[in-house]
Amino acid sequence: MLWIVTTLIAATAQTGRNAAQAGLTARIGTAGATAVRFIFGLPFALAVLVAASWLAPIPIPGATSLGWAAMGGLSQIFATGFLLMAMAGRGFGIATALSKTEPVTLALIGTLALSEPLGWARLGAIVTAVAGVLLVSGTDWSRAGLRSVAHGLAAGALFGLSAIGFRGAILALPDGSQFIRALTILAMGLAIQTCVALAWLAWRDRPALSGIARDWRQSLAAGALGAFASLFWFWGFALTSAANVRTLALIEVPFAQLVSGRIFRQRAAPRQLVGMALITLGVGWLLAVAI
**Cα–Cα distances in Å, from 193 out to 71, 78, 96?**
11, 11, 22
Q: pLDDT 10s digit of each residue in the chain, 291 long?
A: 799 999 999 988 877 776 676 667 778 877 888 888 899 999 999 999 999 999 999 999 999 999 999 999 999 888 877 776 766 555 556 666 667 778 887 888 888 888 788 788 888 988 888 888 778 766 555 555 677 777 778 888 898 899 999 999 999 998 999 999 999 999 999 999 999 999 999 998 888 888 888 888 888 888 888 899 999 999 999 999 888 998 888 877 776 666 555 444 556 677 777 877 888 888 888 888 876
Q: What is the pLDDT of residue 256?
A: 61
Q: What is the pLDDT of residue 36?
A: 87
Q: Domain ranges in the chain?
A: 2-290
Give, in degrees to the nearest 5, the angle at Cα 215 between 210 and 218: 145
**How far apart are alpha carbons 122 and 125 in whole angstroms?**
5
Q: What is the pLDDT of residue 129?
A: 85
Residue at 146: amino acid letter: L
Q: What is the pLDDT of residue 257?
A: 61
Which of these, 267, 281, 64, lies nearest to 185 by C-alpha position? Answer: 64
**Cα–Cα distances in Å, from 282 out to 123, 271, 288?**
10, 16, 10
pTM: 0.85
**How far apart are alpha carbons 134 and 169 in whole angstroms?**
31
Q: What is the pLDDT of residue 263?
A: 44
